[in-house]
Amino acid sequence: MEISTPRLVLRNWKTEDRDLFREITRDPKVMEFFPYRRTHAEADAMRERISHQIATSGLGMFAVSDKATGEAMGFCGVAPVNLPGILPEGAHEIGWRLATRFWSQGYVTEAATAALGYAFQNFGLNEIYAFAVCENRRSIAVMERIGMQRMTGRDFAHPQVPETHPHLSMHVLYRIERPAAVVSERYRKP
């Protein structure tokens, strides 16, 4: 299963993507708004879980690769999210991370637009959420570029952020509803 855009391919993870996945889960700039970095073993286990989720459900954080070279750049996708009391049961979130050398080239916006179209077209979702630390201007800008709307008055203290990192606790919440997404036949599952 692959999702293709003009410059990118969103696909399941391959063994040769291991080093890139390790890089993005340890890089201080990429992980600036996360409370911890992953060891190689933790990153490998996470990549395997994500790969299994994609293989079994068709949704998850796909590897984003350069269409011309096949090089993995990071990840983007839609996956189930469990935040009781904050999001409804059965909610889905969109997320992304790219290695810093691929920042500021529009790749995340391109990948996220494709991931939204794919998820809405193939899984009957009516809405998809995104959230970020209030100071994470880069991710918030992407949310807005892909048509998501801030849910005013719904900022929340993320329950999974440890008390040792209070500056990472408060999150803004965004949502996009199905009619607002660009849904195209090219994102339909094969």
**Whole-model pTM?**
0.91
Count: domains in the chain: 1
16: domain CATH number? 3.40.630.30
Buried b (16+ CB within 10 A) or exposed e, 88-105: eeebbbbbbbbbeebeee
> Which tens digit of pLDDT belongs to each residue from 89-143?
999 999 999 999 999 999 999 999 999 999 999 998 999 999 999 999 999 999 9
**CB–CB of 148/130 below 8 Å?**
yes
Domain housing 76:
2-187
pLDDT in tens, the chain (190 residues): 899 999 999 999 999 999 999 999 999 999 999 988 999 999 999 999 999 999 999 999 999 999 999 999 999 999 999 999 999 999 999 999 999 999 999 999 999 999 999 999 999 899 999 999 999 999 999 999 999 999 999 999 999 999 999 999 999 999 999 854 344 444 444 4
